[in-house]
Amino acid sequence: MEGAAPIREALFRRLFEAAADAMLVVDAAGRIVLANPASATLLGVAPEALNGQSVDAFVPARFRDHERLRADYGAHPRARSMGRGIELVARHADGHEIPVDISLIPVTVDARVLVACSFRDLSGRVQARESLRVQATALRSAANGVVITDRAGVITWVNPAACAITGYSADELLGRHTRILKSGRHGREFYANLWETVLRGDTWSGTIVNRRKDGSEYHEEQTIAPVVDEGGAVTHFIAIKQDVTGQHVVHEALAHAHDALAAQVKEIELLNQKLSEQAIRDPLTALHNRRYLDETIARDMARVGRAGLPLTVAALDIDHFKMINDTHGHASGDKVLQRMADVLRENVRASDLVCRSGGEEFVVVMPGATVDAALERAEGWRVTFASTPVPVRDGVAVSCTVSIGVALHHSRRETFGACLDRADTALYAAKRAGRNRVANAEKA
């Protein structure tokens, strides 16, 4: 059709100039007769400046056979497509080299043989391939085990460290499910949580007890990272593994040692507590002793003094105690003392202080109690103690009595010792009056 040739020529020129790949048209002598704009990007020379230059100028000097190979191709031209895997290199005008793939198409124009050359810059691909090679080397050389599985958990790649940890060779692991390593130490809930985490695209980290090929168990710190495609779907999992069995053993040993030490410390604390109690307690009756009374009475006197409350003291002595020891033995006397302690302990307030001051003598300090209240309590102790015979040996019980003296602490000017002396004086007055009674020092 008339006018079609100019249209085709314009179309071909537009396609030539718009091509993303660099395109050169070279004559039989290797001279460039036409170059598109993409050539400037690849070679660093404007298209119009390329015209007339030898294509050999853009081949690195180390490729000395290029001119001969080009001449051979000119003698037997044939089409050659890209993607044949041959690594070729072009030289930029500034001297740096560019990896390229080249296609060659012989064309004849007006009986003139030309070659249309397309150059594709492979720099990004080469760098990516190099990066993958470096990463693969790093993974193979990593001290930690690396295991790659598909979405179902079937192993597709392992590094030597993973083989060393598990005891399996790569051939034994590839194509097998990761459950080959299960020890049975974890329940279904553990694995359900793991799979739920990674399948939703999150990373899972934790410690797993697995089993080696030889059957031995090992503790493994593991991080499992999902690999997702462009659509966000999980396609693979990468697991980074570290054998921490040695650390676990040490940790367990430390934990056992810590528990043992804690038990020893507790035992020492209990022993110290017991020793402290023994220092302030009468071992026979478990009541406080005179030492504790002397150490704490100043505090009790100060407290009631600040509150303006009275403080009353009762001194007790078991009647005819020497006769009980002489007649029934000291073991029987101990039972009588323990009975007296029980009566006092069961019939005082929490704020009262009950002490065995020595031998068969007892002291009760009653903060906040008036003389009348103290006399009433003392009478209760006397009646309770006298009304219950004390079994001292097989079939024998002894009825015992107690004499009690009660004294009110008069003022801050009176020492506790002076008040206790008045209570003792009242006590002996009760004994002189016939024993088994309570005497009031305030009426002496």
pLDDT at 193: 94
Q: Is 58 exposed, middle or buried (0-12, 13-18, 19+ CB in 10 A)?
A: buried
**Amino acid 313: pLDDT:** 97
User: pLDDT value at position 229?
Assistant: 86
What pLDDT is attached to residue 95?
86
Query: Where, residue-wise, is CATH 3.30.450.20 in the chain?
Result: 4-126, 144-243
What is the predicted pLDDT for the residue at 312? 97
Instruction: Write out the two tokens for 362.
Output: 């007892």
DSSP state of 206: E
Please check whether residue 31 is in contact with residue 53, taking contact to mean a CB–CB distance below 8 angstroms: yes
- CATH 3.30.70.270 range(s) for the chain read 288-443
Structure tokens at 186: 């974890």
* CATH fold label, 288-443: Alpha-Beta Plaits (3.30.70)
pLDDT of residue 337: 96
For residue 73, CA distances in Å to 80, 211, 419 come to: 11, 63, 132
Q: In terms of C-beta density within 10 A (0-12 exposed, 13-18 middle, 19 or more buried), how is residue 142 classed?
A: middle
Q: What is the pLDDT of residue 63?
A: 80
| Class level of CATH domain 4-126 | alpha beta
- CATH number for 144-243: choose from 3.40.50.620, 3.30.450.20, 3.30.565.10, 3.40.50.920: 3.30.450.20
Question: Which whole-number Å values give the CA distances from 300 to 1, 44, 386, 405, 428, in the listed order?
Answer: 129, 103, 30, 20, 26
Question: Which pLDDT belongs to residue 3?
Answer: 56
Q: What whole-number distance in Å separates Cα of residue 300 and Cα of residue 308? A: 12
Residues 6+ apart with CB under 8 A from 385: 339, 340, 343, 400, 401, 402
Average pLDDT per consecutive 10 residues, the chain (444 residues; last block may be shorter): 65 80 88 89 89 88 81 83 77 88 86 86 67 60 84 92 92 94 93 94 93 94 90 91 85 78 81 76 93 91 90 97 93 95 96 95 96 96 95 88 96 89 96 96 81
Looking at residue 132, what is its pLDDT?
53
pLDDT at residue 60, rounded to an integer: 87
User: In the β-sheet with 22-27, what is the strand arrangement from edge to edge?
Assistant: 32-35, 22-27, 112-121, 97-109, 88-91
What percent of the chain has pLDDT above 70? 93
In degrees rounded to 5, what are phi and psi of residue 33?
-110, -15
Indicate the DSSP class of residue 182.
Answer: B
Q: In the prediction, which pLDDT does 126 show? A: 55
- To the nearest 10 degrees (0 to 180), the angle between helices 245-280 and 290-307 is 80
Q: Match 């003598």 to its residue by tokens.
A: 361
